[in-house]
Amino acid sequence: MEYRKYGDTFYIRMDRGDEIIEKILMVCKEEGIHSCTFNGIGGCGKAEIKTFIPETGTFEMRRLEGMLELVSLNGNVITDENGDYYHHTHAVFAYKVGEDHQVAAGHMKSIMVSYTAEIELRPVVDGEIKRKYDPETGTGFWSFT
């Protein structure tokens, strides 16, 4: 992985074997970024997609492997009152099964780069977005400060 900051934006190139979410969180911690949004594209080899099932309050997991074209990656990173980092990441992958082209998308748990990924990370400027825990859903939502 290598990254540069131009203006207020960080441009991150990830390499084979990099786990995208882990590296985004690493850049945020190294650079003191407490809230940001990000997007990206790339070529991946493994992904774990989670789908939230409201009726049960649980996630269903789907694992993909092979040549996964990362068509769209969108997400954000925020921190809570203790300074703990949280990501909310969604992605769309295109891939082939035999001769058929397929698409899979959802909430991401992990994404492994197979040859490269290009990520644009934009820190929140002149403010901060924190994480507010919601006991009803068992998850956190944006809280503006």
CA–CA separation, 36 and 47 (whole Å)? 22
Cα-based torsion angle of the residue sequence 115, 61, 79, 135 in order, rounded to the nearest 10 degrees: 170
Question: Which CATH number goes with the domain that contains 18?
Answer: 3.30.1330.80
Task: Give residue 53's domain range.
Answer: 2-144
What domain count does the chain have? 1
pLDDT per position as a tens digit, 4-32? 999 999 999 999 999 999 999 999 999 99
pLDDT per position as a tens digit, 59-115? 899 999 999 999 999 999 999 989 999 999 999 999 999 999 999 999 999 999 999
State residue 67's pLDDT score.
Answer: 96
pTM of the entire predicted model: 0.93
